[in-house]
Chain A
Amino acid sequence: MADLDQVQVKEGVDKDTVDAVTTIGGAYKYGWETEIEMEYAPKGVNPDIVRLISGKNDEPDWMTEWRLSAFERWTGLEEPTWAMVDYPDIDYQDLYYYAKPKSMEVKPTSLDEVDPKLLATYEKLGIPLKEQMILAGVEGAAATPSEGRKVAVDAVFDSVSVGTTFQAELAKAGVIFCSISEAIREHPELVRKYLGTVVPASDNFFATLNSAVFSDGSFVYVPPGVRCPMELSTYFRINAENTGQFERTLIIADKGSYVSYLEGCTAPQRDTNQLHAAVVEIVLMEDAEVKYSTVQNWYPGDENGVGGIYNFVTKRADCRGARSKIMWTQVETGSAVTWKYPSCVLRGEESQGEFYSIAIANNYQQADTGTKMIHLGKNTKSRIVSKGISAGHAQNTYRGQVSMHPRAKGSRNYTQCDSLLIGDKCGAHTVPYIEVRNNSSRVEHEATTSKVDDDQLFYCRQRGVDEEAAVALVVNGFCKEVLQALPMEFAMEAQQLVAISLEGSVG
């Protein structure tokens, strides 16, 4: 999604990648705003707003009721304070819960009817909403479509999905890929069966709020035995001011299916903070496999910590079937505050969960992120590799839980979380919870904290690499294990992001 036309990206880290840092100059690239007429619901949240959002999406009564009961529960909940993040109180009645471009009033029937301004927005973000071969980040991909790979995109703009590509082609394979609002209308039986079964409406403060007011998001159903013919992706864009984005994603991978799902997000540069509280639920049946990759690049605030997105996200995968496998990969570079723990419930026997994460916090960013591996089934396996990098005045926390239940005999977990500090004003923290309730399971946890190695830096400097580029190089090496787990498009972009986010952190 990054505009990398000028850059020839190669395998691994090379000088070209590093040069990109200089070219881009460290500024947040996606900070511009689309000037477009919006329709807002009144500020604040109450049962009427919940009904209004539900009504806007033409939802059936059961959905409205579900939202209302979530809202009622939310009013009795307190905002969690255990994370190592510090931000001023959020006035939940002083933001918009629903904002949609006026041109979306009548839902376009095809991408051709979508407001050109919206299409241009995504074009500018590097996500052309055209059914063409897209290989983001590689020069000339668009020009030679026959050699590229297909990626279907669901584009969410503030509160609504503006379009989903390749729906027809996916339908031929039996894959349903659409916005969640469309799924509630078109496939209510599936939504009703699975929505809220992985992340219940009562799960936590932010997830409960999301359950009440989510406006859109993506829905995926992959039928038994189907290997999804292309990668699916969702691109979230916050544009309107003072607006919270609450998207909800539901992915169902039926028996023996496979899907790789990518998620990206950006927002304009503003000096006020904005709230983003998403929920992602993934259900995996027997032998199903899902790869979920995120490059989170919400506006992080400026170098003085002004502005930025508050990112409170609940993501969870439920490996219900035996031998199912979920792999979360995340590159967290954006947001002023991140509160995010993509988790795996390993219920099915021999199911597997993996979590690969790079979290980079610069300037005054605060990231509290990690995962939960809940081992319930026999012979389940999980692996956690987390790399946290702090620079400037940032605070970066890994928070994770590995729980082996008494029934989860013969299970395994391996956790490695490393932190890197760049500069003496930042902080890096590790808060793992390890709970082992049977003796045939093995749990191993390792964590280290270090600074950028002087010898490595000296080596690079001696060979004429300037200091910032050298740090980027060393950091890329540090993150390699995680970068390798990303799908190719993301890996390239992530390498760029790693470099960009550390701009200005040396010296």
Chain B
Amino acid sequence: MALAKTKQDATQERLATLTLPDGAAWATAARADAVARLRQAGLPGRRDEYWKYTDPASLVQADVVPAAPYQTDEAPVFGQIDRLRIVFRDGVFDAEESDDLALEGIEIERLSDATQMDIHWAKNLYGVLEKRGQDPVARPLATLNTGFATDGVVIRVTGRPSKPVSLVYLHRKETSDAILHHIIHVEEGAALTLLENGPAAARFSKVLEVEVADRGAFHHIRAQGRDHERRAVTHIFARLGDESLFKSFTLTANGVMTRNEVVLELAGQNGVAHVAGAALGDGAFHHDDTVFITHDAVGGESRQVFKKVLRNGATGVFQGKILVKPGAQKTDGYQISQSLMLDDDSQFLAKPELEIYADDVACSHGSTSGEIDDDAMFYLRSRGVPQGAAQDLLTRAFLAEVIEEIDDPEIAEDIQSRLESWLQRRG
């Protein structure tokens, strides 16, 4: 079907503001392919079914909506964790702020360096998983990212590095428009923990392509911290080999617009994929978790756990899908999305989907929405707990199931304390 005129125009307008980075032939080819695909699919619009509950306008438009960097005296997230820090300031790698990139069991390069090399393994991943992830639902903002990403990291994990790699995104300029693209290849039997935190820019587009080979493990913990005016669209595209493990956790607090997409493919047998998210929305906050998990092999397990606490007019969106392809028998798929609404102005919009073509599977999903349970509140109040503290306590209890998705106790502790301090800060 021909693209609607309005979409063509919007796409053209955005493309006109961007310049293709130069690089080796393979990188240039991948970018050209992305631009061609983008012209065909067009950038998303409000009427697209996949954007039913989130208006993509501010992510699509050519101009960035200015966003003042958030000033805070809070200690940085993961500050107490021993980690290898890689810092991006408004979407540009900051060598001075970053640690030395050398670490045993891992090779880290800048995307802009890797794409200059005529022969590089990244060729097999850059834009490749993103392209696979376009079917059956188009994700044009990720395609745009592949075409125009200016920076990022390229990581090959060959062993089990002694500490996590931590990507720190700083937002300093009011009109920064960052496009980062990371590639991670976890080799057979290797393991990596990746941490991400910070708002990155006024508008942030990020694609993370992750290939986890047989028996590899990838842990991802992300904190999208408090920066009220920033906008972000992020995509994770992952493909999992036999008996591999993928675990991703995201904590989001504030931010006027966030769309986090995860597109996962369990290609090898007995793979395990968990995707979890906790979101705290207060005021002008629109948070959208869109997850698409494809089971294409026998014996896979997937788990989606998403919880949102909303108040003062915040909006929480969850679109989750489990697709079980023919032959993916013995699949165990689970999905839960819940919202806790602390006042009457907020809204929760969910579309939890199952699409199943194999008969020997157990798939389930649940979704609930409501306010704090009166009985629980009464119980605490009658025992002398003040209203605010009781609310925080019950909110923490509500979110506990998601925090449990983090395996590393030290990181879980860090996230837990962050969550508590963010809960207590009103506004």
Question: Do A449 and B361 form a contact, CB below 8 Å, given A436-B347, A439-B341, A442-B370?
Answer: yes
Q: Which of B252-260, B349-357, B398-406 binds A?
A: B349-357
Partner of A429, one of B347, B354, B366: B354
B368 touches A435 (CB 8 A): no
B49 touches A82 (CB 8 A): yes
Judge if B339 is at the interface, Cβ distance under 8 Å.
yes
In the assembled complex, how far is the CB of residue A445 from the closest CB belonging to chain B, in whole angstroms? 4
Complex contacts, A424 vs chain B, CB 8 Å: 326-327, 329, 357-360
Judge if B421 is at the interface, Cβ distance under 8 Å.
no
A425 touches B326 (CB 8 A): yes
Question: Do A430 and B353 form a contact, CB below 8 Å, given A423-B359, A439-B371, A443-B367?
Answer: yes
Partner of B352, one of A436, A445, A451: A445
Report the nearest B residue to A447, measured CB to CB: B365
Complex contacts, B370 vs chain A, CB 8 Å: 439, 441-443
Bound together, the chains give a CA A446 to CA B347 distance in angstroms of 20
- B-contact bits for A78-114, CB 8 A (1 contact / 0 none): 0000101000000000000000000000000000000
Judge if B413 is at the interface, Cβ distance under 8 Å.
no
A427 touches B367 (CB 8 A): no
Judge if B420 is at the interface, Cβ distance under 8 Å.
no
Complex contacts, A451 vs chain B, CB 8 Å: 359-361
Partner of B368, one of A82, A439, A445: A445
Complex contacts, B371 vs chain A, CB 8 Å: 439-440, 442
Judge if B223 is at the interface, Cβ distance under 8 Å.
no
CB under 8 Å from chain B, chain A span 403-431: 406, 409, 419, 421-431
CB under 8 Å from chain A, chain B span 317-369: 326-327, 329, 339, 341-344, 346-369
In the assembled complex, how far is the CB of residue B351 from the closest CB belonging to chain A, in whole angstroms? 5
In the assembled complex, how far is the CB of residue A411 from the closest CB belonging to chain B, in whole angstroms? 11
Partner of B351, one of A425, A429, A431: A431
Complex contacts, A10 vs chain B, CB 8 Å: none
- B-contact bits for A179-210, CB 8 A (1 contact / 0 none): 00000000000000000000000000000000
Bound together, the chains give a CA A449 to CA B356 distance in angstroms of 8
Bound together, the chains give a CA A84 to CA B358 distance in angstroms of 17
Complex contacts, B361 vs chain A, CB 8 Å: 421, 449-451
Report the nearest A residue to B347, measured CB to CB: A437
In the assembled complex, how far is the CB of residue B394 from the closest CB belonging to chain A, in whole angstroms? 14
Range of interface residues on A (Cβ < 8 Å): 35 or more
Question: Do A419 and B366 form a contact, CB below 8 Å, given A425-B326, A451-B360?
Answer: no
Bound together, the chains give a CA A69 to CA B411 distance in angstroms of 64
Question: Do A419 and B349 form a contact, CB below 8 Å, given A436-B341, A441-B370, A449-B364?
Answer: no
In the assembled complex, how far is the CB of residue B176 from the closest CB belonging to chain A, in whole angstroms? 34
B353 touches A421 (CB 8 A): no
Partner of B359, one of A422, A432, A447, A448: A422
- B-contact bits for A219-262, CB 8 A (1 contact / 0 none): 00000000000000000000000000000000000000000000
Complex contacts, B53 vs chain A, CB 8 Å: 435
Report the nearest A residue to B372, measured CB to CB: A439
Complex contacts, A449 vs chain B, CB 8 Å: 354, 356, 361-364
CB under 8 Å from chain B, chain A span 446-471: 446-451
In the assembled complex, how far is the CB of residue B115 from the closest CB belonging to chain A, in whole angstroms? 39
Judge if A5 is at the interface, Cβ distance under 8 Å.
no
Judge if A444 is at the interface, Cβ distance under 8 Å.
yes
A435 touches B349 (CB 8 A): yes
A436 touches B366 (CB 8 A): no
Judge if A144 is at the interface, Cβ distance under 8 Å.
no
In the assembled complex, how far is the CB of residue A6 from the closest CB belonging to chain B, in whole angstroms? 33
A447 touches B369 (CB 8 A): no
B356 touches A427 (CB 8 A): yes
Question: Do A430 and B348 form a contact, CB below 8 Å, given A424-B359, A439-B371?
Answer: no
> Which of B53, B356, B363, B365 counts the most chain A CB atoms within 10 A?
B356
In the assembled complex, how far is the CB of residue B391 from the closest CB belonging to chain A, in whole angstroms? 13
Complex contacts, B342 vs chain A, CB 8 Å: 439
Bound together, the chains give a CA A140 to CA B93 distance in angstroms of 86
CB under 8 Å from chain A, chain B span 291-335: 326-327, 329
Bound together, the chains give a CA A442 to CA B347 distance in angstroms of 12
In the assembled complex, how far is the CB of residue B320 from the closest CB belonging to chain A, in whole angstroms? 11
> Which of B49, B329, B354 counts the most chain A CB atoms within 10 A?
B354
Bound together, the chains give a CA A149 to CA B35 distance in angstroms of 70
B352 touches A421 (CB 8 A): no
Judge if A75 is at the interface, Cβ distance under 8 Å.
no
Bound together, the chains give a CA A428 to CA B362 distance in angstroms of 12
Bound together, the chains give a CA A220 to CA B349 distance in angstroms of 37
In the assembled complex, how far is the CB of residue B264 from the closest CB belonging to chain A, in whole angstroms? 19
Bound together, the chains give a CA A428 to CA B361 distance in angstroms of 11
Complex contacts, A441 vs chain B, CB 8 Å: 369-370
Known: A426-B359, A436-B369, A448-B362. 9 other contacts (CB 8 A): A426-B357, A427-B357, A429-B353, A429-B355, A429-B356, A433-B349, A439-B370, A442-B369, A444-B367
Can you list 5 A-B contacts (CB < 8 A)?
A: A421-B356, A424-B327, A442-B371, A445-B368, A447-B364
- Chain B positions within 8 Å of A, measured between CB atoms, are 49, 52-53, 326-327, 329, 339, 341-344, 346-371
Closest 4 CB pairs of A and B: A439-B341, A421-B359, A442-B370, A434-B350
